Amino acid sequence: MKPTLHQLRILRTVAEEGSISAAAQRLHLTPPTLSIQLSQLTETLGLPLYEIRARRLHLTGAGRDAVAAARRIDDQLQLLRQRLAARQGVERGRLSVAAASTAEYLLPPLIGQFQQDHPGIQASLTIVPRAELLKRLEAGLDDAYLMTRPPEGDGLVSQSVALNPLVMIAAPEHPWIRRDDLTADQIEGERMLVREPGSGTRMWTEDWLKNFGVALNPALELGSNEAIKQAVMSGHGVAIMSLHAVVLELQVGRLALVGIRELPVPVNWHLIQRRGRQITPAAAAFKQHLGHCLLDLDARLQALLRKHNQTLPVAP
């Protein structure tokens, strides 16, 4: 007997869902059916593939090897389908992109335009907190990932693709808006509103403030960029955020930029792909699409900063 693709896909789904019952629901099969297939796969491969601990399914080393093989097989089959479609002159395929929370202000319109230009490609976008994004990256669930603080690792290919300027925002009536002599070391005495621990922007802010001998002492922690904006507009304090997240509020006067000498900072978006993963025609087309769109978007962000009497220094 040899392992079947159906069995390997079942194991992969069970691993992703964390339980046989959840995987059965996703696959529209019964749990006993999945259990039989997994037992046959285990017998065929000759090693235990998983164990149950605290009601959760955990892969063994052999199980992880089998799931990795299942993903590689599916990648190859998807690549084959797209290449055959290309030979027929028809653009088809699937594109899966995952990104950090701030990208919710950046990616949806870009992917919408991409699908208009490539109607045969089925695209999905997953926006998650940084910790979950890193898990997806480690598992290789997507074709591409967008974040500002790429993790280190030989198995990753990271490319800087666009600006993600970090700015300080406040309510228009905040006294700091009328100041032009503020420096980073004065931030310590002000009410700072921040994202939850583990957020990429919060991690960056903590590291940045350390350069000026300032410790981050949050006055309020909030779980989303929208919540932070609402709190700032209500006069609860100031916040450091991506310029992408506050474009509309700046345009209509609901928020204003604080003139800190050391801000804004030229942080960049990074497009990350796993080394060795097949680059499908859909993923290659999307990368090219980003390159065209993000150049124009960078120029618009620079113009918005100039309108608010701020400039973005060139990164060293």
- Tell whether 205 and 119 lie within a shared domain: no
For the segment 247-293, what is each residue's pLDDT rounded down to a tens digit? Answer: 999 999 999 999 999 999 889 999 999 887 878 888 888 998 998 89
Q: Please check whether residue 76 lies inside any domain of the structure.
A: no
- Tell whether 135 and 52 lie within a shared domain: no
Is the Cβ–Cβ distance between 163 and 247 less than 8 Å?
A: no
pLDDT of 229: 97
Mean per-residue pLDDT over the chain, rounded: 90
Q: What's the mean pLDDT in 54-77?
A: 91
Angstrom distances, CA of residue 26 to CA of 92, 116, 141: 24, 29, 16
Range of the domain at 123: 91-163+268-303
- pLDDT band for 91, please (50, 70, 90 cuts): low
Count of domains for the chain: 3
How are beta strands 256-257 and 121-127 bridged, if at all? unpaired
- pLDDT band for 55, please (50, 70, 90 cuts): confident
pLDDT of residue 88 exceeding 70: no
Is the Cβ–Cβ distance between 187 and 239 less than 8 Å?
A: no
The Cα 298–Cα 176 span in angstroms is: 27
- Tell whether 213 and 158 lie within a shared domain: no
- Tell whether 172 and 261 lie within a shared domain: yes
- Tell whether 148 and 282 lie within a shared domain: yes
Q: Please check whether residue 190 lies inside any domain of the structure.
A: yes
Exposed, middle or buried, 38 (CB in 10 Å: 0-12/13-18/19+)? Answer: buried
More confident residue, 200 or 85: 200
The Cα 223–Cα 195 span in angstroms is: 6
Q: Please check whether residue 207 lies inside any domain of the structure.
A: yes
Query: DSSP of 27-69, one letter per residue?
Result: HT--HHHHHHHHHHHHHHHTS--EEEETTEEEE-HHHHHHHHH
Exposed, middle or buried, 158 (CB in 10 Å: 0-12/13-18/19+)? Answer: middle
pLDDT of 155: 87
Exposed, middle or buried, 216 (CB in 10 Å: 0-12/13-18/19+)? Answer: middle
For the segment 125-165, what is each residue's pLDDT rounded down to a tens digit? Answer: 999 999 999 999 998 899 999 999 899 888 899 999 999 99
CATH classification of the domain holding 26: 1.10.10.10
- Tell whether 246 and 235 lie within a shared domain: yes
pLDDT of 210: 93
Q: Please check whether residue 118 lies inside any domain of the structure.
A: yes
- Tell whether 250 and 123 lie within a shared domain: no
Q: Please check whether residue 98 lies inside any domain of the structure.
A: yes
Most confident by average pLDDT, 91-95, 156-160, 198-202, 228-232: 228-232
Q: Please check whether residue 312 lies inside any domain of the structure.
A: no
